[in-house]
């Protein structure tokens, strides 16, 4: 039987938003045959068989245990939409790969934390392990970095990879409302999880940028090496002051390769108002990729949602059907470059510092002097009256400076008698 006429039997574990979206899509497109052969869902697994669902699952074989579905003789491709870095998701993916079945997953935590070992298993069995839906939902970031830029050497990637954070920051910026207010509303509307830690803490973006870094630089994903700061401490005051200086605060995830190694970071960062990243509002995701030969590519789109994410899963299923075999990351799993993390303290960059000071003469002189002594060069300076504040905010941006020098300077400024609280540091994105 040629691939052209083959029926590909798909097992789907996890029937939440994405799983439901995938079943709806395949129900709307009976005979979906993107690479010749036809896709047919045969088995499903989820936590509850009886839970009310928009899609009728009675035609599919039911499996209480996703591992049993993964191993089942009834399926040719295993789709893992359970989620979580360990537990049943990992067990099921391992079982499917061990049984020689191609795996498609949307699980960013699993790939970011266990991608290297899963790649070894997949490649030893000669089956694909695909995860387009794990990063940027419907935007094919994985395909672009893994396949389209294979003829280049990528230097850096940077972008907005978490739609929930981008939505919250956009609402804070446009509506002048505090983080906690906007988060509570987002939770009511279903845009944010009941436990929002993974999103607002920056961990979800860190999973995604760790995966992209591995694909871009040909190293094993190293989530543990990512430096992570979320948006939960972003203050409306800083959003306003940043805007006065010509910037918008975004949660920027970045990965940079240098002779010293790889630096993977997630930080609330300032992007110039005229920059595409600053203009990507709401739940949009956006990514810059910079290569030696290609220069800069920018891509933007919906980073989540049933439709986009299910479409990404369907595209991965189509890729399995084409018979394409390539390394899971940028190089065969056994030949991945070591991931040498760069000490963030050694990284260079421009910074935004916001101080809260007593309203008395000589404060600006003292701050400027302290920064100069510490070796930090000021680029711009802004003092603005703010109502109902316990002190007077002053804000400055620096020229590029080593992070260790900056931190030492902040320590000294924090000790000045007129400075009321530890200065707020935000990075200016290198984009």
Catalytic residues: 208
Could you tell me if 331 and 46 are in contact, meaning their C-beta atoms sit under 8 angstroms apart? no
Region binding its own copies by CB under 8 A among candidate stretches 237-245, 301-309, 368-376, 387-395: 301-309
Residue ranges in 329-368 that form contacts with its own copies under rule CB under 8 A:
332
Judged by CB, which is closer to its own copies: 132, or 171?
A: 132
61, 74 contact by CB (below 8 A): yes
What tokens does 265 get?
Answer: 């970071």
Q: How far is the CB of 386 from its own copies (least distance, A)?
A: 29
Is residue 38 involved in binding its own copies (CB under 8 A)? Answer: no
- When asked if residue 317 is in the footprint of its own copies (CB under 8 A), the reply is yes
Structure tokens at 105: 């997953």
Return the number of the residue (152 or 232) whose C-beta is nearest its own copies. Answer: 152
Beta-carbon contacts of residue 431 (< 8 Å; ≥ 6 apart): 158, 252, 271, 275, 277, 288
User: In whole angstroms, how far apart are CA 187 and each of 94, 160, 172, 309, 398?
Assistant: 34, 20, 15, 20, 37
What sign does the dihedral 192-197-198-199 (CA atoms) show? Answer: positive
Residues 131 and 78 sit within 8 Å (Cβ to Cβ): no
The residues, any chain, with a CB within 8 Å of residue 166's CB and separated by 6 or more, are 160, 250, 251, 280, 281, 282, 283, 284, 285, 303
Q: By C-beta, is 3 or 389 nearer to its own copies?
A: 3
Q: According to CB under 8 A, which one of 148, 224, 273, 389 is a site residue for its own copies?
A: 148
Of 104, 98, 88, the C-alpha closest to 12 is: 104
Regarding 3 and contact with its own copies (CB under 8 A), the answer is yes
- Token pair in block for residue 261: 């190694």
The verdict on 150 binding its own copies (CB under 8 A) reads yes
Query: Residue 239 and residue 144: Cα distance in Å, rounded?
Result: 32
162 touches its own copies (CB under 8 A) = no
> Which among 377, 351, 353 is positioned nearest to 429, based on CA atoms?
351
Is there binding between residue 298 and its own copies (CB under 8 A)? yes
Query: Does 54 help bind its own copies (rule: CB under 8 A)?
Result: no
C-alpha–C-alpha distance, residues 253 and 52, integer Å: 37
Query: Closest distance between its own copies and the C-beta of residue 278, in Å?
Result: 11
- Shortest Å, Cβ 228 to its own copies: 27
CA 100/CA 426 separation, integer angstroms: 47
| Interface residue with its own copies, options 202, 291, 393, 423 (CB under 8 A) | 291
Select 152 or 379, whichever has its Cβ closest to its own copies: 152
Q: Is 17 in the site for its own copies (CB under 8 A)?
A: no
Q: Is 34 in the site for its own copies (CB under 8 A)?
A: yes
| Alpha-carbon distance values, 131 to 44, 79, 93, 163, 261 (Å) | 19, 10, 12, 18, 25
Residue 147 as a binder of its own copies (CB under 8 A): the answer is: yes
Cα(419)–Cα(407) distance, integer angstroms: 16
Rounded-to-integer distance, Cα 201 and Cα 232, Å: 7
Q: Which stretch binds its own copies (CB under 8 A): 28-36, 74-82, 106-114, 352-360?
A: 28-36
Piece in contact with its own copies (CB under 8 A), picked from 187-195, 250-258, 304-312, 406-414: 304-312
Annotate each residue in 241-280 with x if it binds its own copies (CB under 8 A) or - if it does not, as one string: ---------------------------------x-x--x-
- 163 touches its own copies (CB under 8 A): no
Kindly state whether residue 326 participates in binding its own copies, applying the rule CB under 8 A.
yes
The one segment of 71-79, 140-148, 193-201, 225-233 that binds its own copies by CB under 8 A: 140-148
Count residues near its own copies (CB under 8 A). 54
User: Exposure of 281 by Cβ count < 10 A (0-12 exposed, 13-18 middle, 19+ buried)?
Assistant: middle
Pick from 14, 43, 308, 349: which binds its own copies (CB under 8 A)? Answer: 308
- Binding residues for its own copies (CB under 8 A): 3-4, 21, 25, 34-36, 132, 138-140, 143-144, 147-152, 274, 276, 279, 291-302, 305, 307-308, 310-315, 317-319, 321-327, 332
């Amino acid at each position: 039987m040629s691939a052209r006429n083959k029926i590909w039997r798909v097992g789907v574990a996890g029937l939440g938003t994405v799983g439901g979206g995938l079943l709806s899509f395949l129900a709307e497109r009976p005979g979906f045959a993107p690479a010749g052969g036809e896709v047919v869902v045969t088995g499903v697994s989820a936590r509850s068989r009886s839970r009310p669902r928009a899609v009728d699952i009675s035609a599919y074989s039911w499996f209480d245990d996703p591992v049993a579905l993964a191993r089942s003789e009834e399926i040719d491709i295993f789709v893992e939409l359970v989620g979580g870095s360990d537990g049943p998701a990992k067990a099921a993916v391992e079982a499917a790969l061990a049984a020689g079945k191609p795996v498609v997953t949307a699980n960013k935590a699993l790939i970011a934390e266990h991608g290297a070992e899963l790649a070894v298993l997949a490649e030893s069995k000669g089956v694909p392990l695909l995860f387009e839906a794990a990063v940027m939902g419907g935007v094919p970031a994985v395909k672009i970095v893994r396949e389209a830029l294979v003829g280049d050497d990528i230097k850096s990637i940077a972008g907005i990879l978490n739609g929930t954070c981008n939505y919250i920051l956009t609402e804070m910026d446009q509506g002048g409302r505090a983080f906690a207010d906007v988060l509570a509303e987002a939770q009511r509307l279903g845009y944010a999880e009941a436990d929002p830690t993974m999103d607002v803490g920056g961990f979800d973006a860190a999973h995604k940028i760790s995966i992209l870094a591995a694909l871009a630089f040909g190293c094993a994903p190293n989530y543990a090496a990512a430096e992570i700061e979320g948006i939960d401490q972003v203050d409306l005051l800083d959003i306003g002051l940043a805007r006065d200086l010509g910037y918008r605060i975004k949660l920027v995830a970045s990965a940079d390769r240098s002779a010293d190694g790889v630096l993977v970071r997630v930080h609330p960062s300032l992007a110039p108002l005229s920059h595409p990243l600053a203009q990507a509002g709401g739940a949009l995701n956006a990514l810059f990729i910079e290569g030696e030969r290609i220069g800069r590519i920018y891509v933007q789109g919906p980073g989540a949602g049933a439709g986009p994410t299910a479409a990404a899963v369907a595209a991965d299923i189509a890729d399995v059907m084409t018979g394409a075999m390539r390394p899971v990351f940028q190089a065969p799993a056994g030949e991945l470059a070591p991931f040498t993390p760069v000490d963030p303290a050694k990284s260079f960059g421009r910074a935004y510092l916001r101080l809260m000071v007593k309203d008395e003469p000589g404060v600006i002189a003292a701050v400027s002097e302290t920064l100069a002594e510490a070796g930090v060069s000021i680029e711009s300076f802004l003092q603005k009256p703010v109502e109902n504040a316990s002190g007077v905010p002053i804000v400055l941006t620096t020229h590029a400076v080593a992070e260790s020098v900056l931190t030492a300077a902040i320590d000294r400024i924090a000790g000045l008698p007129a400075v009321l609280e530890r200065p707020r540091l935000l990075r200016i994105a290198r984009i």
